[in-house]
Structure formats: structure tokens, C-alpha cells
């Protein structure tokens, strides 16, 4: 969990909500998901996404307003291939 100045990051907040929804069997997110703040520095976000994709894990990008975008491992690997 990422906490800055006593406040959870949007990704941490959404992950907590996803856990509650998963317990209730109502989660809209893939079972294996990594939650990342969309505004995290690119030098941290992209390697984390790449590692997740190689492990077959989806990434949930969370905006400051708590809106989300789910990115599949396949999409991430396609982006990596296009950048190569």
C-alpha cells in the first residue's frame, strides 16, 4: 500500500475496494491484477507493467479520480514489441 502524507494512493484505494468486491464475488477486475497509479513516474510504471505481463498478470491503471483502465498482459507485450 502506498501512503503519502497519511493518504492512500488511488491505486491502493482501488486495490482495497477490489479485495472487498472479490470477497463478495463481485469484482470487475481480473483475479490476478497489479494496481498502478497512472500518474506514477514512467520509469517505475513501465517496468512494473512489463514484469506483470511476463507473469500473465493484468494491470489496472488507476487515475486520481479513481477511474480505471484494465490492460491485459497481451496488450502490454504488444506495446513492448511496438516500442522495440
pLDDT tens for each residue of 35-70:
999 999 999 999 999 999 999 999 999 999 999 999
Tell me what the mean pLDDT of segment 4-19 comes to.
Answer: 87
- pLDDT category at 2 given cuts 50, 70, 90 is low
Domain chopping of the chain, boundaries: 6-83
- pLDDT category at 1 given cuts 50, 70, 90 is very low
Tell me what the mean pLDDT of segment 15-41 comes to.
Answer: 94
Please state, rounded to an integer, the average pLDDT across all residues of the chain.
Answer: 90
> In which order are the strands placed within the sheet that holds 58-62?
33-37, 58-62, 68-71
- Cβ 44 vs Cβ 75: under 8 Å: no
pTM, two decimal places: 0.86
Amino acid at each position: 500500500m502506498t501512503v503519502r502524507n497519511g493518504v492512500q494512493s488511488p491505486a491502493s484505494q482501488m486495490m482495497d475496494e477490489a479485495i472487498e468486491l472479490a470477497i463478495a464475488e463481485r469484482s470487475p477486475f481480473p483475479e490476478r491484477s497489479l494496481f498502478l497509479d497512472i500518474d506514477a513516474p514512467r520509469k517505475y510504471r513501465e517496468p512494473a507493467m512489463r514484469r506483470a505481463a511476463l507473469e500473465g498478470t493484468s494491470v489496472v491503471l488507476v487515475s486520481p479520480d479513481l477511474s480505471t483502465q484494465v490492460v491485459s498482459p497481451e496488450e502490454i507485450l504488444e506495446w513492448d514489441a511496438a516500442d522495440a
